[in-house]
Amino acid sequence: MITVLCGGVGAAKFLEGLVHANLGEEIVAIVNVGDDEEMYGLHISPDIDTIVYTLSDLVDRERGWGVKGETYQALNRLKELGAPAWFTLGDRDIGLHLFRRHLLDVGHTLSEATAEIGKSHNIPLRMLPSTNQRLRTMILAHGETEELLSFQRYFVERRHQPTVKGIFFTGSSEAKAAPGVLDAIEASRIIVIAPSNPLLSIAPILAIDEIAKAMAAARHKTIAISPIVGGRAIKGPADRILDSLGYPVSPLGAAKILAPFISMMVIDDVDTNLSREIEELGLEVFITNTMMVDLATKVELAKSVTNVSKELQ
From 20, 25, 26, 42, residue interacting with its own copies (rule: CB under 8 A): 42
Beta-strand pair 228-229/232-233 = antiparallel
**Min separation Cβ 81 and its own copies, Å:** 4
The number of beta carbons lying within 10 Å of the beta carbon of residue 186 is 13
Taking a C-beta distance cutoff of 8 angstroms, is the pair 227, 234 a contact? yes
Footprint on residues 222-281 left by its own copies (CB under 8 A): none
The residue among 98 and 296 lying less far from its own copies, judged by its C-beta, is 98
Which of 183, 179, 178, 215 lies closest to 198, judged by CA?
A: 215
> Does residue 68 bind its own copies (CB under 8 A)?
no
**Min separation Cβ 38 and its own copies, Å:** 8
User: Which range touches its own copies (CB under 8 A), out of 36-44, 122-130, 227-235, 302-310?
Assistant: 36-44
**Min separation Cβ 105 and its own copies, Å:** 6
Torsion sign over Cα 161, 6, 66, 62: positive
Which of 69, 10, 14 lies closest to 196, judged by CA?
A: 10
Rounded (10°) CA dihedral 288, 274, 259, 310: 30
> Does residue 40 bind its own copies (CB under 8 A)?
yes
Q: How far apart are CA 267 and CA 116, in angstroms?
A: 35
Footprint on residues 119-178 left by its own copies (CB under 8 A): 120-121
Footprint on residues 76-115 left by its own copies (CB under 8 A): 76-78, 80-84, 90-92, 94-96, 98-99, 101-102, 105
> Does residue 66 bind its own copies (CB under 8 A)?
no
Residue type present at position 155: F
Please report, as ranges, the residues that interact with its own copies according to CB under 8 A: 39-43, 70-71, 73-78, 80-84, 90-92, 94-96, 98-99, 101-102, 105, 117, 120-121
